[in-house]
Amino acid sequence: MAEEFSTELKNGNILTPKGFKAGGIHSGVKRKRNDLGIIYCEKPAIAAAVYTLNKVVAAPITVTKATLKEAKKVQAVVVNSGNANACTGEQGILDAKAMQKLTAETFRIQEEHVAVASTGVIGELMPMDKIAAHIPQIDVGETEAHAKAFGEAILTTDTFAKSASFQTTIDGKTVTVAGAAKGSGMIEPNMGTMLAFITTDAVIDQAALDALLRSVVDRTFNNITVDGDTSTNDMVLVMASGFAGNETLTDEHPEWHKFADAFQQTCEVLAKQIARDGEGATKLIEVEVAGAKTDEEARKIAKAIVGSSLVKTAVYGADANWGRIIAAVGYSGADVNPDTIDLALGPIQLLKESKPLKFSEEEATEYLKNDTVHIYVHLHLGDGKAKAWGCDLTYDYVKINASYRT
């Protein structure tokens, strides 16, 4: 395991980094619970973002992508849930821009410093009367209650709000990274129907932040899957307020590794929370692959295993059917030697150099009843390694998605 240089803040939230406020409100887009939220920074924050790779892109993605490409700074993010504002044509663009403009007016900031995000049902026009009436009413503040109000506002079928925070020391200054996320269904690398907002008070170069975000997203959010579907609205956005007072961070800073670790840890915790909260899920599945020719080869295998419907249903049924795992290794597209594969289910060794080992079915069944299941694969081909996360596939997944719009 890589050395860690940051500490997790169990009571931290998206407002723990200095300079940020947030809030959420119920506007009526959804029948109940908050559905409209805002993150606000006391000054324009250095920003970077990555977006869905789906070729059908929602209006908020189009607007935010264009805005951030020019400004490279964000002072406020306005987010709604319950309506994706996707496949809504020119009116969708106008509505996203209206959300941007109204948020800018509310906080008296520049429109080009406002990002917009949406999540929910595709193909329905935004109820802009509700959105417009409630943006000015959102109470933004710095308390835990404000953070929770925002965290709830971005959820759809999620059963809980996702939050993480890590802290480190750079140039003798305390630097914090935190995040809030949503995601439960339509989750498939590269990113699924998920939104993640990362805040930090670090002083950092924009190009360095952008490069770090892309690298970390590739190792975390892009390595989770629930159901194989990629959404139209996915976004991971990071804002850096600069209030920590450290020397400007680049990858040449002597303590860059500390910030990179805090950033990686924050995103990994959020990614695992999303995987654990897969629609109808009862278990988190973590797959760790080592000994591949490259990290990318290891990643292919880890994603194939965690994305296999047969593996997911076996985990749900507590059935140690390791043939499904080895089959996923074989069809992953990665180079493997079928005679050198080790396979383990938690502490239970199943294969050694591709030869089946005797194990207790009862012990394996008991292990699979845990709420977190670890699958380990070693290929003995090189130094490549990767992790991927997913969840079991249950009857409730079908029930939830059969009635998503009702």
Choose, from 106, 193, 230, 394, the residue flagged as catalytic: 193
> SS3 string of the chain?
CCCCCCEECCCCCCCCCCCEEEEEECCCCCCCCCCEEEEEEEEEEEEEEEECCCCCCCHHHHHHHHHHHHHCEEEEEEEEEEECCCCCHHHHHHHHHHHHHHHHHHHCCCHHHEEEEEEEECCCCCCHHHHHHHHHHCCCECCHHHHHHHHHHCCCCCCCCEEEEEEEEECCEEEEEEEEEECCCCCCCCCCCCEEEEEECCCECHHHHHHHHHHHHHHCHHHECCCCCCCCCCEEEEEECCCCCCCCECCCCCCHHHHHHHHHHHHHHHHHHHHHCCCCCCCEEEEEEEEECCHHHHHHHHHHHHHCHHHHHHHHCCCCCHHHHHHHHHHCCCCCCCCCCEEEECCEEEEECCEECCCCHHHHHHHCCCCEEEEEEECCCCCEEEEEEEECCCHHHHHHHHCCCC
- 193 in catalytic set: yes
**How many other CB atoms are found less than 10 A from the CB of residue 295?**
16
Q: Mind telling me the catalytic residues?
A: 193
